[in-house]
Structure 1
């Protein structure tokens, strides 16, 4: 669980609700079905048109990474790679076949299988890097779903405000409705700018950071597997891979 993300969401809600209360508007002033319809539903409509179905679905599946990111254990992975290296030097690459069968990560399993099959280092690098780049591209496109929502929401908030002001102008003859109408008009702006800057854009940035971390770990794995195929000393491999750590 990413506690910082949870705290951030809580603080964002507190900032909006607490700010409304402290300003004297009250928490209830933030409730507006019309603003919700224009901004939130409108943002979803825009992103539906903007994004291919597969990319949108993948982005929604990735949303949980903001709070529960995939577990990254680079230290443990380095120890495993060094262990595989030692086994390969003592017993040969075929001795790693048992590790392939017990590996749950498809990317790692594919790399180990190539080692066992005696693939050349260049072939291992080329095949795994293509898969790495494809996966990174797909994940980044998923993160951009939220980035796109963060771009559209403020504009739709302005549209909502303009529509609210249009309604106010129709009631200029009734001063008692002006104050409430103007306040309601600007709620849409709050929805648009608030959702973009407190939720959508931060979520996109967090997802991109998770994707970058995954890519770094996989690059480290590729380098380790190639070093094993080249018969490098386990200690040298460990020293090289630790350069990938922060």
Structure 2
């Protein structure tokens, strides 16, 4: 469970609660509850998303991806590189065919697929093409979900503004009745408030978190592709390690040490 996401959402809503209480007391919460405003803002926003969706089940799948923002990504650049180096040492000592047995210990299906392509003697360019095609498909699927939250985040304030205009129109048509001015103005402002909450408290942060997770996973898989092709080309494990370290930040490279990992086994070969 990603604690940062949970804490961030709690802090966000807590700030709103504190702001309401500090200015109007606990009873002020009632001022921020308006069913009509909620229907216009949330109903209108999700109605637009349904219009854009391929189908109702597809919309449901997009909504469920919110759970991904609460999961800690399993990908780890260092572990991936170390795994690639381990495979390169096996290939260097025992040959590429020995990787077939080593693939049984690999959990990542993308990496396992690449290993089996190499074991089958697939042309390196074809291996790259197949792996990059799958990588593009993964990125496309992820971006579809990311764009859902980003678009929903833009729809919230837009429908909040529509609700605001409704409230202002009703207010202007009832200028002669002062008792209706306050409630109509309240509806006008609350819809904007709801739209801002939907966008800035939920949708934009979720969209950004999913984008970060996607970037990390794509980087992991790019490391796998480069590593597997280097293994297939018969490159020295130490050279492969240095090549793959280029994907890492300087701080992480330094923490990995100066070639003290699995590459050292095959460095003299």
Question: If the TM-score is normalised by the length of the shorter chain, which range does it land in?
Answer: over 0.9
C-alpha contact (below 8 Å) 2:81/2:241 kept by paired residues: yes
Q: Deviations over 1:139-182 (max 9, x none)?
A: 01110001111111111001112222333345444423432332
Alignment partner, residue 17 of structure 1:
17
The answer to whether the aligner puts 1:126 opposite 2:105 as a matched pair is no
Note if 1:244 corresponds to 2:247. Answer: yes
Q: How does 1:141-152 map to 2 (within 5 A)?
A: 141-152=144-155
- Partners in 1 of 2:15 and 2:159 — Cα distance? 22
Do the aligned partners of residues 56 and 183 (structure 1) sit closer, same or farther apart at CA in structure 2, a change above 3 Å counting?
Answer: same
- Quote how far apart the aligned CAs of 1:56 are: 3.4
Q: Indicate the RMSD between aligned Cα atoms, in angstroms.
A: 1.8
Tell me whether 5-14 or 62-71 shows the greater mean CA deviation. Answer: 62-71
Question: Structure 1 regions of 5+ residues with no counterpart?
Answer: none
TM-score normalised per structure 2: 0.85
Question: Deviation above 4 Å: which 4+ runs of structure 1?
Answer: none
Matched residue pairs, number? 246
Query: Residue in 1 aligned with 2:62?
Result: 59
Give the conservation status (yes or no) of the 8 Å contact 1:9–1:199: yes
Structure 2 vs 1, CA of residues 105 and 149 (structure 1 numbering), >3 Å: closer, same or farther?
A: same
Contact 2:80/2:223 (<8 A) preserved: no
1:194 corresponds in structure 2 to 197
* Residue matched to 1:44: 46
- For 2:75, the equivalent position in structure 1 comes to 72
Which of 20, 28, 31 pairs up with 1:29? 31
- What is the 5 A alignment of 1:148-163? 148-163=151-166
Quick check: 2:163–2:187 contact (8 Å CA) kept in 1? no
Q: How far off its partner does 1:115 sit?
A: 1.4
